[in-house]
Amino acid sequence: MKLHLIGICGTGMGSLAGLLKEAGHDVRGSDEHVYPPMSTQLEAQRIPVFDGFRGENLDWGPDKVVVGNVCRRDHVEVLEAQRRGLQLTSFPAALEELFLTTHHSLVVAGTHGKTTTSTLAASVLTDAGLAPSYLIGGVPMGLPRSFHVGQAGGPFVVEGDEYDTAFFDKGSKFFHYRPRTAILTSVELDHVDIFDSLEAVKAAFRQFVALIPEDGLLVVCADDAGALECASAARCRVERYRLGDGPADWRARATGVKPGGRTVFAVERHGEPFGEFEIGLPGAHNLGNALAVIAAVSGLGVAVADIAHGVRRFAGVRRRQEVRGVAQGVTVVDDFAHHPTAVRATLQALRGRHGGGRLFAVFEPRSATSRRAVFQRDYADAFAAVDEVIVGAVNAPEKAPEGDRFDPERLAADLRGRGVAARFLSSVEAIAEHLAQRAAPGDTVVVMSSGGFGNVHDRILERLGHAIMDARPADLPHVRALLEKVNLPYPDLEAHLDELMVLRDGGQIIGCVALEQWDDAGLLRSLVVTPERRGEGLGWMLADTVLARARTRGLCAVFLTTEHATDFFAEKFGFRTCERSALRPAMLSSSQFQAGRAAILMKLDL
């Protein structure tokens, strides 16, 4: 089928485009302000994109036109499609028609935690060999991409959004998703631009729950009153999960913390031991998300050992408590939280996670809900537990009614009244400069926004200096030049971009390191500092940062090869020499072991 997507560069539409292409459809689309990363992702998938909206973009003769919910009925391409007699459809309707009718749909719904929980479910099912299909509204760190066409008739994991569908379909997206297994994490007031009350939100979730057939399964959070209330509309079997006290079918209890902050927890089902698990994501809310997935995939027949392996290996999702970098001992974290409940849970989870210093929060009111005054007082409660809060300007304030607009200066004043250091700073430059003066080694800065926030994360890191950050595609030529300078080849570097970190100083890349992950072990590669800067301890900083990442991701061991630095790795980090037989068999396919260079193999048990 030939499908044209209006607004193809949106996160969801771009993922749908990739899914359709992978399934064999002819896909093209249009958008304004086409730029990376989505433009490069679509280009890599050979999906043509028209830059700008025009009627002639439909000259290629699509069978259907997929209309995003940002399109109004007077959109130029919508009008042209109607003039030509082309069928209009929506993102969720296309997903339903072309995929969900032939799969077992596992839908993750709720006000909070949808992206993390759906990504974890897809990861566990993939790890267990069930070859699931999935479509996720975020960027997973342990899966190749946010979409995949798996085995025909198998599970299809989809993030179930309660937002409306299109200008011609004002019902929630998840009404189209044909749930057979569903997870309901929470139900609170959100999306106040389309829901005028909490009761309206609950009505949508009750309607969704009622779609699950009698032989289906609903896994619901019993710690959330709204979710539990909506579950009463179910016709299917309902299994309740909770961390707190009260009746439940599934219960989790934290039993310890491993190096790197990984939580070990025991799970009970119907009061009987079910298994022991561990997860690298911090916070009680993520423990609840994991418990929900354990219950749901168990209902699909996945063995306990396979579930435990998948949960342990889960690396998380971009923009959900994602460490963007470390500079001068200050850890900068990116988080999507914008609802007061999510803000509070995230801040509680991050306290002490990356060091014993202070916790700074930087907040941009950007979402349709946060730019309105509906939660003005609730934000003061949510941010009260941190050491210092910086409130940025409201993004696109004109999108909120003038008499119902969030007041960032009032939030700062309310927090100061509670004894919390807080201030309103309207520019990204001012925020970065302030934090460069205030933050110290051991501190954590978490940036909370549902958008890009002027790339404030990188500006903070660069202003602090000596910033270790994830590499970007534009960094590859500079990293290659650095590796060639020290005669350390990495022929398939592009394939490992997501595993590469760079050290920046004054805008220049002066060092790098990579950590290839091979199941439960890592391979540390290309630890390099430019010769002019050796002797400053920068190599130690790079190695320490990447080993911290290995611990967070639950790796059992890290290997490396070196020709001259055995004493450094042994004395500084505890690596010991070992035989090649100690390697995981899959590791031998790494280009590290194809070069034929004589080197000593070392191993660090984590």
Each residue of 43-79: pLDDT tens digit? 888 999 999 999 999 999 999 999 987 789 999 999 9
401 and 506 in a single domain? The answer is no
423 and 281 in a single domain? The answer is no
Phi, psi of 219 (to 5 degrees): -105, 115
Rounded to an integer, the average pLDDT of 169-193 is: 91
The total of other beta-carbon atoms located within 10 Å of residue 154's CB is 15
Angstrom distance (rounded) from CA 373 to CA 407: 7
The answer on pLDDT for 36 being more than 70 is no
Q: What is the tens place of the pLDDT at every residue in 332-350?
A: 999 887 888 888 888 988 8
Give 162 or 507, the one with higher predicted confidence. 162
**Residue 503: helix, strand or coil by DSSP?**
strand
**Residue 430: helix, strand or coil by DSSP?**
helix
Angstrom distance (rounded) from CA 386 to CA 447: 13
CA atoms within 13 A on the CB side of 26: 7
pLDDT the model gives residue 597: 67
- Let me know: does 361 contact 335? Beta carbons within 8 Å: no
Q: Calculate the alpha carbon distances from 119 to 34, 182, 307, 346 in Å.
A: 26, 14, 14, 18
Rounded to an integer, the average pLDDT of 77-89 is: 95
Per-residue pLDDT band at 576 (split at 50, 70, 90): very high
Longest alpha-carbon distance in the chain: 74
Q: Which domain holds residue 398?
A: 322-465
Domain boundary (279, 313, 347) is at 313
- Let me know: does 600 contact 563? Beta carbons within 8 Å: yes
422 and 344 in a single domain? The answer is yes
Angstrom distance (rounded) from CA 337 to CA 120: 18
Q: What is the tens place of the pLDDT at every residue in 251-293?
A: 999 998 887 778 899 999 999 999 999 988 878 888 999 999 9
- Let me know: does 449 contact 491? Beta carbons within 8 Å: no
449 and 398 in a single domain? The answer is yes
The domain spanning residue 402 has which CATH number? 3.90.190.20
Of 27, 36, 105, nearest in space to 66 by CA: 27
297 and 182 in a single domain? The answer is yes
The domain spanning residue 239 has which CATH number? 3.40.1190.10
Of 564, 570, 340, 354, nearest in space to 448 by CA: 340
pLDDT the model gives residue 425: 93
Angstrom distance (rounded) from CA 182 to CA 276: 23
Domain boundary (266, 296, 313) is at 313
265 and 371 in a single domain? The answer is no
In angstroms and rounded to an integer, the radius of gyration of the C-alpha atoms of the chain is 25
The domain spanning residue 559 has which CATH number? 3.40.630.30
Number of H helices, E strands in the chain: 17, 30
Per-residue pLDDT band at 398 (split at 50, 70, 90): confident
- Let me know: does 268 contact 315? Beta carbons within 8 Å: no
Of 221, 273, 214, nearest in space to 242 by CA: 221
The total of other beta-carbon atoms located within 10 Å of residue 589's CB is 10
221 and 143 in a single domain? The answer is yes
The answer on pLDDT for 390 being more than 90 is yes
Classify residue 454 as left (phi > 0), alpha (psi -120 to 50) or beta: left
- Let me know: does 273 contact 282? Beta carbons within 8 Å: no
11 and 30 in a single domain? The answer is yes
Number of domains in the chain: 4
pLDDT the model gives residue 1: 93
Mean residue pLDDT across the chain: 90
Per mean pLDDT, which range of 315-324, 404-413, 466-475, 597-606 is the poorest?
A: 315-324
161 and 276 in a single domain? The answer is yes
The secondary structure of 540-578 as a DSSP string is HHHHHHHHHHHHHTT-SEEEEEESS-HHHHHHHH--EE-
Q: What is the tens place of the pLDDT at every residue in 288-331?
A: 999 999 999 999 999 999 999 999 888 877 778 788 888 888 99
388 and 475 in a single domain? The answer is no
Domain boundary (57, 91, 125) is at 91
Angstrom distance (rounded) from CA 214 to CA 235: 5
504 and 375 in a single domain? The answer is no
Per mean pLDDT, which range of 17-26, 312-321, 412-421, 581-590 is the poorest?
A: 312-321
123 and 164 in a single domain? The answer is yes
Can you give the pTM of this predicted structure?
0.84
Angstrom distance (rounded) from CA 218 to CA 207: 13
Is the link from the previous residue into 37 a cis peptide, with omega within 30 of 0?
yes
What's the length of the chain? 606
Sign, CA dihedral 263-268-272-275, equals negative
